[in-house]
Amino acid sequence: MTHFAERCDQHDATREAACLQAARHIEASGIERVRLGWCDAHGMLRGKTLMAHAAIQALRNGVGMVGTLMLKDSADRTAWKVFEPGGAHDLPGFANAANLMLLPDPASFTPLPWQANTGWLRCQPWFADGTPVPLDTRRVLQQALARLADAGYGLKTGLEVEFHIYRITDTAPQLDPELASWPGLPPMVEMIHPGYNLQAEAMIDMADEPLAIVMRTARALGLPLQSLEIELGPSQVEAVFDATDALTAADQMVLFRNGVRQALRRAGYHASFMCRPPFPNIMSSGWHLHQSLVDLTTGRNACVRETPAPGSTPVDAAHTLSDAGTHWLAGLLAHARGMTALCTPTINGFARFRPHALAPQSVIWGQDNRGAMLRVVGGAGDRATRIENRVGEPAANPYLYMAAQIHAGLDGLARGLLPPPACEAPYAEGSEKIPTQLSDALSALREDAALNAGLGEDFVRYFCRIKQQEIDRHAQAEDKTDFERREYFSRI
């Protein structure tokens, strides 16, 4: 009898060897339990904890999970009436909260540095008949990368992530059973540094303990952390990672957010990847995604132009970028409004798009301009030439953020699109604006034919329905700040 991984057509000699290696590691290192984690629509890890022997069996046989976990909004409320006849007619396989199966990647096995005798495995959901679940956001990125490979390219990405760390002063409000609600309150906190002293060494020293925890956690998880910095805002920090292929980078972002929050919590700190925590005088956090095309034949950066195009000036994309890079840039611009909801998927995140705040407002690009949505970094002959998209927030699902870049860029390549001249005044009037609220961003996504074709219309409907339920609940909330405190600050 075949096991589940074989029915999914995912098992071969290489995977079998990885299963055996993971099992030996679990048995030899005293691992008692293994967390099987997968990434939901919001970019948050969910999963099950199995005892060591059960986890070894799950490497080949998988483990069941309730299907409604894929249908949750940001407050964990199911966005479909799965128990009503026809309530999930647009989602075959999800009616009546039917089981899905989680299949681990044995090569992903990692001991958790903050929890003794505990390991972790990355999983993806499958239907019980062995067919893939198309709503799985990691699969969405895998399919986008397959399309990109068909065009002869890969995508290399670098992560530059801002977030906030606070010291917990009291957990009573969060854990008091008399105050339990859905969603619940966050803990009471204080800042780890007062801010408004960008990259000051004194601020780094003041925040040394939590930053050291972040560093040790990232290293122990095998993440390529390059730097940790004090950002401008109160209690705000930034982590920068070495560039790698897009799927690996997305996996690393999921693991980083999850690991940092847990490790810091154990030490008495609260980390938040919410864009604008619910306090006065806060500075917004962004997630800047650096990207370059990779020529799959040569392995070289396909965005590099050896010499500026004849007759070009620095305001022309072809002065810096190759023809492929120029078309890619134009595709990102053409689909900027449609991709915004995938890059900034929370109501809170749209408050970041303010003038003169190192955040974008308009659909423009600039040469090394941090006020532009797309910042072109490098120059002719520079092997590190790349495009930085500054529209994202740190709460974004990394698989969707990166998939959006691919489908937009591919459309630019396919149609040979050309960008306008670089903008030197990013906050001037006259340029097309980025959507200013989540509802407008969802409308732009629904109307974007190329993104719908790339992501799939079924996935776009699924994503928009989950986010629309979040919007509707926010509209009904009497206290909007309290909504964001519970919905985002407590959970993201």
Given a cut of 80, is residue 1 above it in pLDDT? no
Cα Dmax for the chain:
71
List pLDDT tens digits, range 306-315: 999 999 999 9
Residues 425 and 370 sit within 8 Å (Cβ to Cβ): no
Give the other-Cβ count within 10 Å of 52's Cβ: 19
pLDDT of residue 177: 94
**Looking at the structure, do residues 76 and 176 belong to the same domain, yes or no?**
no
List pLDDT tens digits, range 70-124: 999 999 999 999 898 888 888 988 888 889 999 999 999 999 999 999 999 999 9
Residue in 382, 399, 401 with CA at minimum distance from that of residue 390: 401
List pLDDT tens digits, range 129-188: 999 999 999 999 999 999 999 999 999 999 999 999 999 999 998 999 999 999 999 999
Domain boundary among 133, 160, 179: 133
**Looking at the structure, do residues 127 and 171 belong to the same domain, yes or no?**
no
CA dist list (Å): 368 to 160, 248, 332? 15, 26, 17
Q: Residue 109 falls within a domain, yes or no?
A: yes
**Looking at the structure, do residues 355 and 446 belong to the same domain, yes or no?**
yes
Confidence band, pLDDT 50/70/90 cuts, at residue 422:
very high
Given a cut of 90, is residue 262 above it in pLDDT? yes
**Looking at the structure, do residues 121 and 162 belong to the same domain, yes or no?**
no
Domain boundary among 85, 109, 133: 133
pLDDT of residue 88: 86
Q: What is the mean pLDDT of residues 228-237?
A: 96
Residues 302 and 292 sit within 8 Å (Cβ to Cβ): yes
Q: Residue 286 falls within a domain, yes or no?
A: yes
List pLDDT tens digits, range 247-259: 999 999 999 999 9
List pLDDT tens digits, range 326-381: 999 999 999 999 999 999 999 999 999 988 888 999 999 999 899 999 999 999 99
CA dist list (Å): 459 to 140, 141, 197, 438? 9, 12, 43, 17
Distance CA 53, CA 37 (A): 17
pLDDT of residue 86: 86
Q: Residue 401 falls within a domain, yes or no?
A: yes
Parallel, antiparallel, or unpaired for β 118-126 and 225-230?
unpaired
Judge if pTM exceeds 0.75: yes
Write phi, then psi, for 8 (nearest 5 degrees).
-85, 0
pLDDT of residue 168: 98
Domain boundary among 104, 133, 162: 133
Q: Environment class of residue 391 by beta-carbon count within 10 Å: exposed (0-12), middle (13-18) or buried (19+)?
A: buried
Give the other-Cβ count within 10 Å of 281's Cβ: 8
pLDDT of residue 279: 96
Q: How many domains does the chain have?
A: 2
Q: Residue 57 falls within a domain, yes or no?
A: yes
Domain assignment of residue 113, given as a range:
4-133
Residue in 192, 198, 22 with CA at minimum distance from that of residue 122: 22
Q: Residue 138 falls within a domain, yes or no?
A: no
Q: Interior CA angle at 359 toward 357 and 263, to 5°?
A: 100
**Looking at the structure, do residues 203 and 113 belong to the same domain, yes or no?**
no
Residue in 42, 38, 40 with CA at minimum distance from that of residue 346: 42
**Looking at the structure, do residues 219 and 75 belong to the same domain, yes or no?**
no
Kindly give, in sequence order, each residue whose CB lies less than 8 Å from that of residue 60, ignoring residues fewer than 6 positions away: 3, 4, 5, 6, 11, 19
pLDDT of residue 141: 98
pLDDT of residue 97: 83
Residue in 423, 405, 400 with CA at minimum distance from that of residue 292: 405
Local structure of residue 95 (DSSP, 8 states): G
Strand ranges (DSSP E) for 246-336?
269-272, 287-295
Q: With the C-alpha atoms ordered 11, 15, 16, 19, is the resulting torsion angle positive or negative?
A: negative
CA of residue 274 relative to chain centroid, distance: 12
The lowest-confidence range among 45-49, 95-99, 203-207, 378-382 is 95-99
Quick one: the chain helix, strand, coil %, rounded to 5?
40, 20, 40
Q: Residue 425 falls within a domain, yes or no?
A: yes
**Looking at the structure, do residues 17 and 64 belong to the same domain, yes or no?**
yes
17: domain CATH number?
A: 3.10.20.70
**Looking at the structure, do residues 129 and 149 belong to the same domain, yes or no?**
no
**Looking at the structure, do residues 82 and 174 belong to the same domain, yes or no?**
no
3-state secondary structure of 63: strand
Q: Residue 140 falls within a domain, yes or no?
A: no
List pLDDT tens digits, range 220-231: 999 999 999 999
**Looking at the structure, do residues 153 and 123 belong to the same domain, yes or no?**
no
**Looking at the structure, do residues 74 and 45 belong to the same domain, yes or no?**
yes
Residues 404 and 148 sit within 8 Å (Cβ to Cβ): no
**Looking at the structure, do residues 237 and 300 belong to the same domain, yes or no?**
yes
426: domain CATH number?
A: 3.30.590.10
Q: Residue 466 falls within a domain, yes or no?
A: yes
Mean pLDDT of the chain, nearest integer: 95
